[in-house]
Homo-oligomer: A and B are copies of this chain.
Amino acid sequence: MSRTIALLGGTGAEGVGLALRWAKAGETVVIGSREAARARDAAERIKQIVAGAQVSGEENVAACAAANIVVLTIPFAGHAALLKQIKPAIRAGTIVVDTTVPLAASLGGRASRTLGVWQGSAAQQCAELLPKEIPVVAAFQNLGAKLLSYDGPAECDVIVCGDHAEANRAVRALAVKIAGVRAIDGGSLENARILEQITALLIGLNIRYKAETGIRITGLPEHP
């Protein structure tokens, strides 16, 4: 069975970046947005860049209903609301991938600080808001939109955390379809809090060094 990846809030830089990379890798992608027209526009732009790309655009809930891998690429301010909205549309067997970082900037604070999330992390909030049988996987927080927008290899490891081994494996397989990315088993979903905080650190480094930073774990094999 072929898979379809929905990128909810996918008209933002992170969503478009992931869509581009996966479209290049031959994956079928649906961009989701609050407005279907904006989603379709983004899909058209990707088709112009990637010849033969299997990319379409839909309103978020419709995008979710069309997919078996649903990736959240939304600001934290809209996180809980979107999850409540899409919950009835998630099909059985769907994997939800949360890339969200609870940056303090969501509430007018700094992008180099995070908010405290009661559940421990945005990804754990996601898992709490969805039915228990939906596997939630935390990943891609540290892979900035600009790294994704380059044509060349993205110099960043993707650490994947989740409580469902098979879903974790599927997301790691999806991650390594992005050139340059190495996928690493980061353990259980509760560790997502660390991935989310690393993003705040990287944003601080980006500001301080006028750079686009990523992260590599040393001491692991090339294909862990």
Contact = CB atoms under 8 A, between A and B. Distances in A.
Contact of A219 (B184, B194, B212): B212
Interface stretch (A4-12, A31-39, A79-87, A201-209): A201-209
A194 B193 CA distance: 10
A174 interface: no
A114 B56 CA distance: 43
A213 B202 contact: no
Contact of A216 (B184, B193, B211, B215): B215
A113 B194 CA distance: 10
A75 interface: no
Contact of A198 (B156, B198, B219): B198
Number of copies: 2
B218 A159 contact: no
Given A112-B187, A201-B159, A218 B209 contact: no
A123 B20 CA distance: 41
Chain A's interface size range is: 35 or more
Interface string A182-224: 0011110011011101101110110011011111111110001
B215 A215 contact: yes
A201 B194 contact: yes
B216 A187 contact: no
A66 to B, nearest CB: 34
Contacts of A202: 217
Contacts of A209: 185, 220, 224
Given A193-B197, A194-B198, A197-B194, A205 B218 contact: no
A194 B200 contact: yes
A155 interface: yes
Given A184-B205, A187-B208, A156 B194 contact: no
Given A185-B205, A193-B197, A209-B220, 6 more contacts: A147-B219, A187-B204, A191-B204, A197-B197, A213-B219, A215-B215
* Pairs A-B, 5 closest by C-beta atoms: A155-B218, A214-B218, A213-B219, A216-B216, A194-B201
